[in-house]
Amino acid sequence: PSFFGQHNFVSAPVGSSPQATPNPNEFQWSSSPKQEEEIHVPVLRSVLCTMIQPNLTVLCLKNLSSLNSVSQNVFEEFRGFLTSALPLLPRLASLTLCSHNSRNSLPQCTDEHLALLGLHCHHLHYLDVSFNKGVTGEGVRKLVPGPGMPGCPGLTRLLLFDCAVFEKELARVVPALPLLEYLGYKETGKVIKSLHRAVE
């Protein structure tokens, strides 16, 4: 036998397609259309869930923005993943969910997700949710410790560029985060002025 083995061929009409037979040393041609095999591609949520471990401390999903525009059902799939994942990450210390075009690309988060951080991730010290229009002052307040809400008192860096948060709302949150060293916000100067006026 040659290097490629011995193969027997049968003649077939033009336009037919090769069909593999149980014998690996034979090929047959058939004029019947080949049946398409169904390919199961895992949904985004199942892929992302493989990263979730109880001891996870750093979760950075900003590279999902390289997927460019995605459909609405993918947005819903991602939000569902985030909703189910955050309560499973009690040791999470750093979370990055910034997206420069959050209307059309991932990652995305909302006030609901900030509330979950305040309930389950009180070791968080770095949070970047920049460019997420679904993040408002109401959600940011959920990061502050309060009755029934452990919050994230250890936050040292909070990035909120281009979110739907007003400076007066942040001025009420900042004093309740005593370890905060860096506030990523386009109107940080106005926040500081509001704080000074409150002191006066």
- Whether 102 contacts 132, CB under 8 Å: yes
Question: What is the predicted pLDDT for the residue at 115?
Answer: 97
Condensed to tens digits (0 to 9), the pLDDT of residues 82-105 reads: 999 999 999 999 999 998 766 778
> Model-level pTM greater than 0.85?
no
Question: What is the predicted pLDDT for the residue at 23?
Answer: 60
- Please give the C-alpha separations between residue 145 and each of 5, 25, 154, 173, in angstroms, as whole numbers: 73, 70, 10, 10
Q: How many CB atoms lie within 10 A of CB 109?
A: 27
Task: Tell me the C-alpha distance between 177 and 180, whole Å.
Answer: 6
Q: How far, in whole angstroms, is CA 5 from its chain's centroid?
A: 50
User: pLDDT class for 6, splitting at 50, 70, 90?
Assistant: very low
- Whether 179 contacts 153, CB under 8 Å: yes
Pick left, alpha or beta for residue 151 (phi over 0 → left; psi -120 to 50 → alpha; otherwise beta): left
